[in-house]
Amino acid sequence: MRKIYSLLIITVVLISCGKKETTSIEELTTSGTLKELTAKKKELSASLEKINKDLEVINTAISKKDTVKKLPLITTFTAKEEIFKHYLEIQGNVKTKQNILIYPEMPGILKSISVKEGQFVRKGQVLATIDDGGLSNQVAQLEATTQLAKTTYERQKRLWEQKIGSEIQFLQTKTNYEAQKNTLEQLKSQQSKAVIRAPFSGVIDDVVKEPGTVLAPGQGSEVFRIVNLNNMYIEAEVPERYIASIKKEKAVNVNFPVLGKTIKSKINQVGSFINPNNRSFKVEVPVSNKSGNIKPNLTAKLQINDYTDTNAILIPQSIISENANGDQYVYIIKNKKSNNEAVAERLIIKTGKTQGDFIEVLENLTAGIEIIKEGARSVNNGQTVKVINN
């Protein structure tokens, strides 16, 4: 009896020593090394692949031995070629090249303002006047002396043509008249600066100063802000990876979320400089503003057609699966019978660009093939299925 107990104790000890400690997934992900995690991933992937293969074998065997078939119900659609347009979606801001502050060109007291905020003005229209500090009187006086100089010069010229008088008298009167005329023109040019005019047609967005304000040319003396809302454009920055596909005249859908409005336009200008800070280049898209609702700095969303395929095959992204090797695949049907029974077959595909819920298939899928849609994730390769398309 003692020998039996001894043998039992030895057996238990040997079994205990022979047990290999296993590490849980939680412990491995918390404290495991990269090497250990990679090894575990390979082990699980291999196990999953083996399980899937075993399931396929078992399912095949079941389908052969099961006299009462319970086939998976699926729906299908037929792959067809169609036009596929991919759009790059970016955000931009509305701008206008005619949005400026108007400054005085001469010092003085703001005498009067002839317009108000929101008023539309024409190019050259008088907006305000500045006290010219007596320039008007100087101009009037100089006009009189210039007229006298002109009369003297014309008389002396007639005399000189009749060989009366000296040449020096004629030249003196001519020089005096031309000097007076030039001085008068300069003084009138200076006087014209006392009148502030619209540099272009637009809307007075802001009246900054009030009558009686002392003005001087330079920063801080702006009197008006004038904006032209007719020639508007959107400026946006495009990542440099799209530089080969974004060209001038490319079609653009412009959406203004705040206005609930979408218009069509084209790229008017593509920048030639890559910004080193964000690796992007600028594009300009003109927009029509007949209603006047589009304002500078308004946010806009641009959809730029950067890729078009006239013979593309599109499928829903939801039916695509991926295996352990990272290959994408879908299920198609083969050997379809008159009772709508068919065999599901796995087809490895290569995909391209997406647009909404659809993705472009680049390889292995041709027009006319029936693809499983509903039930695509519940069938196995080689499994018999029943098509229930309406």
CB 229 within 8 A of CB 287: no
* Sequential pLDDT tens for the chain (390 residues): 343 444 444 444 444 444 444 567 777 777 778 888 888 888 888 888 888 888 888 877 776 676 556 788 889 999 999 999 888 999 999 998 888 899 998 888 888 999 999 898 999 999 999 988 788 888 888 888 889 888 888 888 888 888 887 888 888 888 988 898 898 888 888 888 888 999 988 889 899 989 988 888 888 889 999 988 888 899 999 999 999 889 898 889 999 999 999 999 999 999 989 999 999 999 999 998 877 788 889 999 999 988 888 899 999 999 999 888 889 999 999 888 888 889 999 999 999 988 888 999 999 898 999 999 998 888 889 888 888 876
| Domain boundaries, given as residue ranges, for the chain | 28-65, 66-84+310-387, 88-98+227-308, 102-225
**Distance (Å, rounded) from C-alpha 344 to C-alpha 59?**
12
Q: Where are the alpha helices (DSSP H) in the chain?
A: 2-18, 25-31, 34-65, 135-161, 167-192
CB 297 within 8 A of CB 93: yes
Return all residues near 235 (Cβ < 8 A) that are at least 6 apart. Answer: 92, 93, 95, 282, 283, 284
Distance in Å from the first CA to the final CA of the chain? 78
The class that CATH gives domain 102-225 is: mainly beta
pTM listed for this prediction: 0.54
**Counting every residue, how long is the chain?**
390
Instruction: Write down the architecture of domain 66-84+310-387 according to CATH.
Output: Beta Barrel (2.40)
Q: What is the CATH number of domain 88-98+227-308?
A: 2.40.30.170
Phi-psi map region of 94: left, alpha, beta (phi>0 left; psi -120 to 50 alpha): beta
